[in-house]
């Protein structure tokens, strides 16, 4: 059960060029996060398996630009246990 964003992509018939931001990260303890921002929209769709409590969630939140110096792209809280997941930028990572 990790197909909500896949369904959005299929329903809206999105291609790679329609996606302003799209990432899938593996987190510790079998956690997972997938994020999608459709170009022209200011919300981010987040699909999450919390690394702390293991709960699956699908949430949306406001999407804003971050400064170039910022290390974090965004952060999201698990709705169930409140664990804060920070998504770092990939750039500059080994
Ligand atoms: Zn949690």
CA distances from 12 to 21, 29, 43, 62 (A): 16, 32, 15, 20
Is the pLDDT score of 2 beyond 70? Answer: yes
pLDDT digits (tens, 9 = 90+) for 12-70: 999 999 999 999 999 999 999 999 999 999 999 999 999 999 999 999 999 988 888 88
Q: What is the pLDDT of residue 70?
A: 86
Give the distance (Å) from ligand 1 centre to CA of residue 20. Answer: 27
For residue 94, what pLDDT is reported? 45
**Cα 49 to ligand 1 centroid, rounded to whole Å:** 8
Candidates 67, 55, 59; CA nearest to 27 is: 55
Cα-to-centroid distance, 53 and ligand 1 (Å): 4
The pTM of this model reads 0.88
- Ligand 1 centroid from CA 13, angstroms: 31
């Amino acid at each position: 059960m990790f197909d909500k964003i896949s369904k959005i992509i299929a329903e809206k018939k999105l291609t790679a060029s329609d996606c302003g931001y799209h990432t899938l990260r593996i987190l510790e303890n079998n956690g997972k996060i997938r994020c999608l921002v459709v170009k022209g929209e200011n919300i981010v769709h987040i699909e999450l398996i919390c690394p702390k409590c293991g709960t699956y969630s699908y949430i949306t939140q406001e999407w804003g630009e971050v400064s170039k110096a910022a290390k974090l792209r965004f952060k999201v809280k698990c709705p169930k246990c409140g664990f804060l997941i920070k998504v770092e930028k990939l750039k500059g990572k080994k």
